[in-house]
């Protein structure tokens, strides 16, 4: 066999070996692609979309401990996306307050509407929340001035006295509030939560010669028409739809 024949033979062997190697590499890549397609499917997580309803457990406790305070609050949220929830609170309050120089009763209802953004990244199978949110609040109520002592510095009822026991009806208030809160799933679909809010009055209808010092849903009205609030909730999630991500 001549050197030329030997060279041709070697080249043909190399070509066949290269083609075989390329074929094996292609088969390997196909297998890897199939594995890549299969693995994500096994990691899909079920996410529940539903309505969560609950109550503020602090108000019944306060009502039990303080006979002059009555109230309740119902809370709810609806999951719209992975981290966005539509939220609402509504309730009723009937409170007797004593301030410097006066004693009054405030009674009425309120509703607050808004949304929460969940900033907590849950592990697989968890559904907890650490969230920030905002609400628009509206209250309609009445106040009764039970008794008062005129303030000689002219702050209360000197120029335009009000008869004790006067009831002021058809009062209302509008405000915005910004809040921070959390909800923890303690049992399947059962959550304990807490929430802190800072409120700013937009507008309020007040009686002549008297201020709205306490507003249902807003709580005590401080200087610059600011307020704060807390609630402690227990709620239950009613699943409506499951999605996989």
Distance CA 231, CA 59 (A): 8
pLDDT above 70: residue 121? yes
Under DSSP, the state recorded for 1 is -
Under DSSP, the state recorded for 218 is T
* Res 1: pLDDT: 55
Distance CA 223, CA 239 (A): 43
Report which of residues 28 and 115 the model is more confident about: 115
* Res 38: pLDDT: 44
CA–CA distance from 58 to each of 54, 148, 200, 236 (Å)?
A: 12, 30, 22, 17
Question: Average per-residue pLDDT in the chain?
Answer: 83
Q: What are phi and psi of 58, to 5 degrees?
A: -70, -35
Report which of residues 20 and 130 the model is more confident about: 130
Distance CA 146, CA 211 (A): 14
pLDDT above 70: residue 87? yes
* Res 43: pLDDT: 59
pLDDT above 60: residue 156? no
Element (H, E) at 79: strand 69-79
Under DSSP, the state recorded for 83 is S
* Res 172: pLDDT: 96
Which residue, among 140, 233, 136, 110, has the nearest Cα to 181 in the 3D structure? 233
Which residue, among 55, 45, 84, 79, has the nearest Cα to 239 in the 3D structure? 79
* Res 240: pLDDT: 84
* Res 164: pLDDT: 74
Binned at pLDDT 50, 70 and 90, residue 12 comes out as low
pLDDT > 70 in the chain, percent: 74
- Contact between residue 135 and residue 177 where contact means Cβ atoms under 8 Å apart: yes
Q: Which of 57-66, 135-144, 157-166 has the lowest mean pLDDT?
A: 157-166
Q: Which of 5-9, 214-218, 232-236 has the lowest mean pLDDT?
A: 5-9
- Contact between residue 244 and residue 44 where contact means Cβ atoms under 8 Å apart: yes
Centre a 10 Å sphere on the Cβ of residue 223 and count the other Cβ atoms it contains.
Answer: 5
* Res 136: pLDDT: 98
* Res 236: pLDDT: 96
């Amino acid at each position: 066999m001549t050197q030329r024949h030997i060279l041709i033979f070697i080249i043909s062997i190399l070509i066949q070996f290269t083609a075989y190697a390329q074929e094996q590499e292609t088969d390997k890549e196909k297998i890897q692609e199939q594995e890549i397609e299969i693995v994500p499917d096994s990691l899909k997580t079920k996410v529940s979309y539903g309505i969560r309803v609950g109550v503020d457990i602090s108000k019944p406790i306060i009502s039990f401990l303080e006979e002059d305070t009555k109230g309740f609050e119902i809370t709810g949220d609806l999951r719209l996306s992975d981290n966005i929830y539509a939220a609402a609170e509504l309730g009723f309050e009937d409170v007797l307050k004593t301030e410097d120089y006066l004693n009054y009763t405030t009674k009425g209802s309120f509703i607050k509407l808004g949304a929460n953004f969940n900033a907590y990244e849950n592990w697989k199978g968890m559904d907890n929340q650490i969230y920030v949110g905002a609400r628009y609040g509206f209250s309609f109520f009445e106040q009764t001035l039970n008794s008062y002592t005129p303030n000689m510095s002219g702050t209360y009822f000197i120029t335009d006295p009000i008869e004790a026991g006067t009831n002021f009806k058809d009062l209302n208030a509008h405000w915005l509030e910004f809040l921070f809160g959390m909800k923890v799933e303690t049992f399947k679909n059962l959550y304990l939560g807490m929430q802190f809010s800072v409120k700013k009055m937009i507008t309020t209808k007040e009686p002549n010669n008297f201020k709205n010092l306490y507003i249902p849903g807003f709580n005590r009205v401080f200087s610059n028409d600011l307020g704060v609030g807390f609630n402690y909730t227990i709620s239950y999630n009613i699943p409506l739809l499951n999605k996989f991500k």
